[in-house]
Structure 1
Amino acid sequence: MALLEVNHLDVRFALRKGEVRALRDVNFTLERGERLGIVGESGAGKSVAAFALLNLIAKPGFIAGGEVNFDGKTLNHMGERGLRRVRGNRISMIFQDPMMTLNPVLSIGEQMIEAIKAHRRTGTKAARKIALDRLRQVQIPSPEARLDQYPHELSGGMRQRVIIAIALLLDPDIVIADEPTTALDVTIQAEIMALLLSLCEEHNVGLILITHDLGVVSQVTQRMLVMYAGRVIEQGPTREIINDPQHPYTQGLINALPQMATPGEPLNQIRGSMPSLDNLPSGCAFHPRCDFIRRADGEVRPACVEQVPGFTVSGNCRVACHMVEELQQDRRLKEASQ
């Protein structure tokens, strides 16, 4: 059994105009020590999925269906007391902006010691020693001095290192990193990701990396999910998806990378924008933006407009696309006729 199993997860927000489905039938697993990437544009549902794992969806949002099973226990059916034993202890989270995560009126040491004592029966002196050790692991210079400093006294890269140190304080089984380098300079981003990767490998920690940066995902993760409009539309080994993307949306994301453009020419981009979750198109949610909606004869594929695609197995990947399913059927017919 996998360390983390997400089965048919459905998250909704109760608004005045009715319920909006932010996540629809999301399924994936994470093994101990495995690194999983979740990618997609803003509004795809990546962060909602991360918050749902720890049952941190704030009202008017709620988990409407499905299960999040961690180490044999169903988190979304667990009481607040039980969840407190998991959050920050066995599953920790790194948020986008460290200044929004760290308490500005407490020193770094006070915040780290408080986190340790909330989950461990230990004295202040022993907790401070653990905190100091974690700051050394994330390569913060003069860690003794940093413990007594406040968040505003540190640079952005230094604050993010502190956040990583706090995430690893209690030797968690899983770290969820939600856009961990968004607020940092490009020169610092690579250092932070390399540090996070090495620490997860050293401690055999499972990593869920949420990002829109396919370049980072290709270097850090072993498997990946591609999300669109609240649904997983492609999943499989990272290298296989990056080298041979099956879904037109995944192809568009990869083609939009700067290195894929001709020098001196505009960057490639996916036309249109992510649909509003309260007004999703019929059929495949991506069909209004899809370049492959028409067949070779110029006719629109009716299924793309009328039916939500199921998953088709392609190699080691699963893809929710009518075109891929059609190509698979054509291939089977050709093989049968030979």
Structure 2
Amino acid sequence: MALLDVKDLDVRFAVRGGDLQALRKISFSLDKGERLGLVGESGAGKSVAAFSILNLIAKPGYIAGGQILFEGQDLAAMSDKQLRKIRGNRIAMIFQDPMMTLNPVLTIGTQMVEALKAHRRISTRDARAIALKKLQMVQIPSPDKRLDQYPHELSGGMRQRVIIAIALLLDPEIIIADEPTTALDVTIQAEIMALLLELCEQENVALMLITHDLGVVSQVTQRMLVMYSGRIIEQGPTREIINDPQHPYTQGLINALPQMGEPGARLYQIPGSMPSLSRVPSGCPFNPRCPFATDQCRTSMPNYVHSGNVDVACYEVAKLIEQEQSLQEEDR
């Protein structure tokens, strides 16, 4: 049984004029110690999927259907009191901006001790010792000094290390990292991602990494989900998808990487933009931007087809697979 198993998750936002569907029956799983990447443009639904797991979606958002099974228990059906035992304890989350996560008027040590005391019966002295150990794990210089400092006294990279240390405080089984290096410069980003990967491998913690950076996903994750307009359109082993993307959208994302272009040439970009929730086209949501779109794509959403170890929701891929199978049968 998977550690986390999301089945047909449907998330909506109640607004005037009817509900807007942010996630459309998405399904995926996460095993213990596995590293999973969620990729896609802004507005694809990556962060909504992450927040849904811990039921952190603010109103008017709500989970309209589906299951979020953590060790067989449905998180979507739990009360706030039951969820408090899991949030930050067994499933931890690293948010995009550390200054939005850390309390500016409390010292780092106070915040870490409070987090431990919220979930464990523990003395302040023992909690402080654990906090110090976790700061050492994330390789913060002079960790004993940092415990008595305020967030504004630390650099962006150090604040992000503190957030990772807080996520590790209670030895969680899953860490959800929502674009954890967005506000950092490139060299610090690499250090933080290498640290996160090393800690997950050492502690056998499952990682769900939400990002739009395919370079990071290819280096850190074992499996990946490609999201578009609230749907998972391709999922499978990261290496297979990066080396041989099947869906036209995934192909476009990879072709848009700077290293894929010729020196001096204009960078490739996918024409158009992600549709808003109020204007999602019928059929495959990518059809207005897809060079292979047909009338079928514009009228109905394709089912998943298997291409190697990858699941793809695309009529064009389905046709290619059928043609290949026909040729193989003829050769026999």
Question: TM-score, with normalisation over the residues of structure 1?
Answer: 0.97
- What is the CA–CA distance in structure 2 between the aligned matches of 1:328 and 1:302, rounded to whole Å? 19
Q: Which runs of 5+ in 2 are unaligned?
A: none
Q: Which residue of 2 aligns with 1:304?
A: 297
One-letter amino acid of the structure 1 residue matched with residue 316 of structure 2:
M
Q: Which residue of 1 aligns with 2:306?
A: 313
Q: Which residue of 2 aligns with 1:200?
A: 200
SS of residue in 2 equivalent to 1:115 = helix
SS of residue in 1 equivalent to 2:278 = coil
Q: Structure 1 residue 264 and structure 2 residue 264: aligned?
A: yes
- What is the CA–CA distance in structure 1 between the aligned matches of 2:217 and 2:92, rounded to whole Å? 20
SS of residue in 2 equivalent to 1:278 = helix
Measure how far apart 1:333 and its partner are: 2.0
Q: Which residue of 2 aligns with 1:95?
A: 95
- What is the CA–CA distance in structure 2 between the aligned matches of 1:122 and 1:192, rounded to whole Å? 30
- What is the CA–CA distance in structure 2 between the aligned matches of 1:278 and 1:124, rounded to whole Å? 50
Q: Which runs of 5+ in 1 are unaligned?
A: 294-300
Post-superposition Cα deviations, 1:278-308, rounded to whole Å, max 9, x if no partner, equal 1111211101101222xxxxxxx22111111
Post-superposition Cα deviations, 1:206-259, rounded to whole Å, max 9, x if no partner, equal 000000000000000000000000000000000000000000000000000010
- What is the CA–CA distance in structure 2 between the aligned matches of 1:213 and 1:192, rounded to whole Å? 14
- What is the CA–CA distance in structure 2 between the aligned matches of 1:144 and 1:282, rounded to whole Å? 57
- What is the CA–CA distance in structure 1 between the aligned matches of 2:287 and 2:295, rounded to whole Å? 11
Q: Which residue of 1 aligns with 2:42?
A: 42
One-letter amino acid of the structure 2 residue matched with residue 320 of structure 1:
A
- What is the CA–CA distance in structure 2 between the aligned matches of 1:90 and 1:159, rounded to whole Å? 22
One-letter amino acid of the structure 1 residue matched with residue 308 of structure 2:
G
One-letter amino acid of the structure 2 residue matched with residue 33 of structure 1:
G
Measure how far apart 1:88 and its partner are: 0.1
Post-superposition Cα deviations, 1:182-209, rounded to whole Å, max 9, x if no partner, equal 0101110000000000000000000000
Q: Structure 1 residue 249 and structure 2 residue 249: aligned?
A: yes
Q: Structure 1 residue 155 and structure 2 residue 147: aligned?
A: no
One-letter amino acid of the structure 2 residue matched with residue 261 of structure 1:
G
- What is the CA–CA distance in structure 1 between the aligned matches of 2:12 and 2:295, rounded to whole Å? 29
Q: Structure 1 residue 282 and structure 2 residue 275: aligned?
A: no
Question: TM-score, with normalisation over the residues of structure 2?
Answer: 0.99
- What is the CA–CA distance in structure 2 between the aligned matches of 1:187 and 1:328, rounded to whole Å? 42
Measure how far apart 1:17 and its partner are: 2.1
Q: Which residue of 2 aligns with 1:237?
A: 237
SS of residue in 2 equivalent to 1:86 = coil
Structure 1 stretches of 4+ moved >4 Å: none
SS of residue in 2 equivalent to 1:259 = helix
Q: Structure 1 residue 21 and structure 2 residue 14: aligned?
A: no
SS of residue in 1 equivalent to 2:162 = helix
